Amino acid sequence: MPRFLISLRFIGRIFFLFILTILVLLIIILCIEILLKYFYNSSTFIQLSVGRYNVSKQISNNQQSIDNKQNITMEQNITMKQNLPFIYKPSSELCILRALLIFYPTDQHETFQSEFRWLYRSWIEMMTFESSLWRTDLIVYANEYISFFKDLDCIYDQIRIDSKEKPKCRIFPYIRIKDRQSKHESSSKYQIIDKQNSQALYEYLRTYGYIDSINTIFEYYLSFSMYDFILRTDMDCFLTNNFAFYVPYNNSLLVGHGGYSTTFNSRRLKRIAHNINWTYADKSGLGSTW
């Protein structure tokens, strides 16, 4: 058979397959179009459309409700700020005693000495703007009365005598929870230790690095009970000049705010509080300065 006849047959088969493919595609497209028209005209499609509309409407209503609540909350906050200033500037003729409370781990002196120096320096600078009738002491709870404190003219284990005494840096002895082992006794006449509580802290929280920053406040109330206002803070901060003029209003407790939790954790804590019959305050993200 001549070669050109074989080529014609081959080309004919390819052309036939091409036409067949086109026809199949047209049939598929036609079927899809028929199905779409069927569903479009059916009650099923209408119900789906209504369902989407209802959901959208519900979302819109929910969003509007949330916006209304936020607006109400904002209005309440504005009203509260107008009626209750969180900080205010009292008369400079008033005699006010204040104290800064910090914990200094002398066993980590090389790590924290620079932070303490900056805080100490800002304290000295702030007092140059302070009223002559105000007194702000720097109270430090530390493992040891090291030469570092002596060089900064800090006195040891002495509370404020009266309102006329000059501001001072005061060091009070404190044994860290992790170092207490079997010794749960006071290091100063101004420290009150609940042995049962101290033993529990050693057993369950001695590996928590920040427990001493809070526990010092609990055990050393006598060291700051004579002050009108106290500020508990970490050392990685400094005081601004405005601190020389303002105090919390009407003995309010002010705290810093940070991103310390998530919505999931907050809800979980609320559930746990409910399970053990505790009151849930619904407050989160409270900072370490207060």
Rounded-to-integer distance, Cα 56 and Cα 50, Å? 10
pLDDT of residue 271: 92
Query: Considering the domain boundaries, does residue 90 fall inside one?
Result: no
Query: Considering the domain boundaries, does residue 19 fall inside one?
Result: yes
Same domain flag for 247 and 260: no
> For the CA atoms of 155, 253, 206, 197, what is the dihedral angle to 10 degrees?
90
pLDDT of residue 10: 64
Rounded-to-integer distance, Cα 182 and Cα 149, Å? 28
Rounded-to-integer distance, Cα 109 and Cα 10, Å? 92
Angular region, 185: left φ>0, alpha ψ -120 to 50, beta rest: beta
Of 58, 83, 108, the residue at which a domain comes to its end is 83
Query: Considering the domain boundaries, does residue 44 fall inside one?
Result: yes
Same domain flag for 131 and 10: no
Same domain flag for 127 and 78: no
pLDDT of residue 255: 82
Per-residue pLDDT of the chain (290 residues; tens, 9 = 90+): 454 445 656 666 777 777 888 887 888 887 777 655 544 443 333 333 332 333 333 333 444 444 454 454 445 444 444 455 677 888 888 999 999 999 999 999 999 999 999 999 999 999 999 999 999 999 999 999 999 999 999 999 999 999 999 999 999 999 999 999 888 899 999 999 999 999 999 999 999 988 999 999 999 999 999 999 999 999 988 899 999 998 888 778 888 777 777 889 889 989 998 998 888 888 777 777 77
pLDDT of residue 53: 30
pLDDT of residue 257: 76
Query: Considering the domain boundaries, does residue 89 fall inside one?
Result: no
Which pTM does this prediction carry?
0.67
Query: Considering the domain boundaries, does residue 206 fall inside one?
Result: yes
Same domain flag for 135 and 263: no
Same domain flag for 105 and 207: yes
Query: Considering the domain boundaries, does residue 88 fall inside one?
Result: no
Domain total of the chain: 3
Query: Considering the domain boundaries, does residue 140 fall inside one?
Result: yes
Of 38, 56, 83, the residue at which a domain comes to its end is 83
Same domain flag for 221 and 132: yes
Rounded-to-integer distance, Cα 85 and Cα 2, Å? 106
Same domain flag for 54 and 101: no
β-bridge partners, 155: 170
Query: Considering the domain boundaries, does residue 91 fall inside one?
Result: no
Same domain flag for 100 and 222: yes
**Which domain does 260 fall in, by range?**
256-290
Rounded-to-integer distance, Cα 258 and Cα 288, Å? 9
